[in-house]
Amino acid sequence: MLGACAAIERATVEESTKEVSERVQQRWDHVKQGQVDKAYQFLSPASRSTMSLEVFRKRNAAGRWWRTMKIEKVDCRTDACQVTMAVEYDLYEIKGLKKSIEETWIKDAGTWWLVAGK
């Protein structure tokens, strides 16, 4: 019985990893295309209740021009995932900057949502 539970949990984690990876990619596609309003819709309901669309727009229009985003790691538990990505972007005249970004995603009412960061 214990082996069956472990197999079910592993399948659930694998399914969560796939679902979150797809949501992350969709959101970043919107970000890279400058579709801030669409990217905002990926924030968790709690995050949207504390961060208005206007504030989100200002945070995401700070002069960064995203070039690439690659998911490096997705670490899921039952209803939460930590996602690590490598991004490359331009900041005004400085081209090709690289950094690692971590995001937290939670599952609420059957949907994976991004938790707003700092």
> Could you tell me the maximum CA-CA distance found in the chain, to the nearest angstrom?
60
Residue 7 identity (one-letter amino acid)? A
Output b/e per residue, 91-107; b: 16+ Cβ within 10 A: eeeeeeeeeeeebebbb
Place of tokens 């690659």: 70
pLDDT at 5 over 80: no
Read off the pLDDT of residues 8-59 as tens digits, 9 standing for 90 and up. Answer: 445 588 999 999 999 999 999 998 888 999 999 999 999 999 999 999 998 8
Greater confidence (62 vs 98) lies with 98
pLDDT band at 73; cut points 50, 70, 90: very high
> Which sequence spans correspond to the domains of the chain?
2-115
Q: How far apart are CA 19 and CA 25, in angstroms?
A: 10
pLDDT at 6 over 50: no
Report CA dihedral (18, 22, 25, 26) to the nearest 10 degrees.
-170
Place of tokens 């472990």: 6
Output b/e per residue, 51-68; b: 16+ Cβ within 10 A: eeeeebeeeeeeeeeeee
Q: How far apart are CA 118 and CA 98, in angstroms?
A: 19
Q: State which fold the 2-115 domain adopts.
A: Nuclear Transport Factor 2; Chain: A, (3.10.450)
Q: How far apart are CA 92 and CA 72, in angstroms?
A: 26
